[in-house]
Structure 1
């Protein structure tokens, strides 16, 4: 029975014009393509290309050509390394495997370069600012009674730290509801004005920060009579943060599966209850990421804060009254001074700002909930 069935299938294939498989093709062993993984030749080729690119760039960049500088050297090494690795791979692998290994090496080396640049920046700031940051007084005192020649044990960035946290907190409080509300309008409601709103938000994303500061200075301070304060600075930061939150939140909301909305409507929920109880909880982690991106944009702004809040050397806990300094303005003011102690305080403030950003990001990700694969209530 099985032989008859096999013969009938072969006859049908021949009738339809399909070629009959030859004995040589049937006996040919199957060749499996193995992409990925690590092999000894791949490791030695990677190391050889890296060493060869380093030696070649050192010879050309530092000896033969009138060039210098670490940044240009490592960028040249990155280009030469990937070219050498591709050429070495073509001598020992087939074209498909060589291209696959070259792309993997490109991704790995690009990641190494990015991490190295970040580590270099963090290390440079930390080394320059450690002389001031190692003293506890840097975090417990302001600069009201500290002069340019005062020792590092006197004065600190307490006023700037408090100002940054208060201004960023107020700006987040203002920008997150407005940004997420605008994103819900663009993604869930729409209408005739949705295109105009989206165009305006995209234009505000590229708005220079100093223009936002001038806008708050002209409207809120000069026209409405609001004094320069941390609250005015938070308004300027809100203008910078809101379009970032809106664009990121709109993308996340659009990624929510439409079947969840349909199931909610089938159970009798209204539109706003579907958005509130289904769409927003589903996109919670993405919305937290949108908030983090907005905070990252606002925490390092200098010019809008300087225009709307001014500069002061004493601690001001009230963001609604009088001038209030922030860490970016503190850094800008003291790094440009000629005395080494003031420069060290500026770099210590930069290191403190990086730590605050790291803590805020970790806190935001923690509040965003557990990973989707773990589930949540």
Structure 2
């Protein structure tokens, strides 16, 4: 007597035209989420679009060659420009970049390459705290320490640059730390395998590999620092004249001139403030676009 086993026929897959149970509700949820997110994005963009429109409308008629080459006239008089502010801003930012970017990158290198330890944990904690500190506190700190404190240096370009550098430092450090962590360990091990020392590996392998990301973070930090006003009010103090001294004389800057021009009751002074706002907005946008472009080129080149 022989026994035969029969295998049931395999279930035929459902045709693609037939929707599985519950698919209609899932499609409804997907469309609802898409509509909600799109509406939230539009609502978030409305203030930005209105700001861009208003600043451009009020400031485009003021910005010309004289606005960059002439000093600010009395508030009642039309014309003139913010030449002193542009010179002071470039002066302060150049010093701030020299003080913040190398030190911030060096701090990130220590955290990534020589950590983790108690010191690196403390540095990371204080860096996170500094990122959220209001800028006026930084101005008060530098004012009490260098302007009237034991430094006794008075108002000037250098102390203003110190305040801006303190604002930029945590941004540079955190962004550089993240970029250095993205460098594959295989590159480090290959360098060690060729006999390179640790400092040689960092200088010749790690930093070049992370250079695009480090540049992006630095550009974003500059975009943040170039528009700061509160720290400069307590350190550089402001001037309507072009100042070349590094320290001892109050220095002008575009954000301070904008702040004081907007507070004037005269239409000519307010118009110049709108022109300065447009210039600052364009500078921040340019720095952001350049940073995004560098980051995108780096991501494409790494593939």
Deviation of 1:111 (Å): 3.5
Aligned: 1:267 with 2:194: yes
5+ long unaligned stretches in structure 1:
1-10, 15-19, 34-89
Aligned to 1:291: 218
Equivalent residues of 1:167, 1:319 under 8 A apart: no
Deviation of 1:128 (Å): 1.8
Equivalent residues of 2:101, 2:218 under 8 A apart: yes
Deviation of 1:350 (Å): 0.5
Aligned counterparts of 2:277 and 2:217: Cα–Cα separation in 1: 24
5+ long unaligned stretches in structure 2:
none
The equivalent position to 2:128 in structure 1, one of 196, 202, 212, is 202
Deviation track 1:32-58 (CA, whole Å, cap 9, x = no partner) reads 99xxxxxxxxxxxxxxxxxxxxxxxxx
RMSD between aligned residues: 2.6
Deviation track 1:208-234 (CA, whole Å, cap 9, x = no partner) reads 212211221222222223231111100
> Bigger radius of gyration, 1 or 2?
1
Deviation track 1:225-254 (CA, whole Å, cap 9, x = no partner) reads 323111110001111110111111112211
Equivalent residues of 1:285, 1:369 under 8 A apart: no
Deviation of 1:295 (Å): 1.5
Deviation of 1:332 (Å): 0.8
TM-score (norm 2): 0.87
TM-score (norm 1): 0.71
Aligned to 1:26: 12
Deviation of 1:22 (Å): 4.4
Deviation track 1:155-208 (CA, whole Å, cap 9, x = no partner) reads 211111111122112111110011111111111102331112212212211222
Deviation of 1:367 (Å): 6.7
Deviation track 1:235-291 (CA, whole Å, cap 9, x = no partner) reads 011111101111111122112222222222222222122222222222222212211
SS in 2 for 1:193: helix
Aligned: 1:232 with 2:159: yes
Aligned to 1:120: 50
Deviation of 1:30 (Å): 4.0
Aligned counterparts of 1:333 and 1:364: Cα–Cα separation in 2: 30
Aligned to 2:84: 159
Equivalent residues of 2:223, 2:283 under 8 A apart: no
Aligned counterparts of 1:365 and 1:195: Cα–Cα separation in 2: 29
Aligned to 1:338: 265
Q: How many residues align?
A: 295
Greater relative contact order (Cα < 8 A, sep 6+): 2
Aligned to 1:250: 177
Equivalent residues of 1:230, 1:309 under 8 A apart: yes
Aligned to 2:66: 137
Aligned counterparts of 1:210 and 1:335: Cα–Cα separation in 2: 19
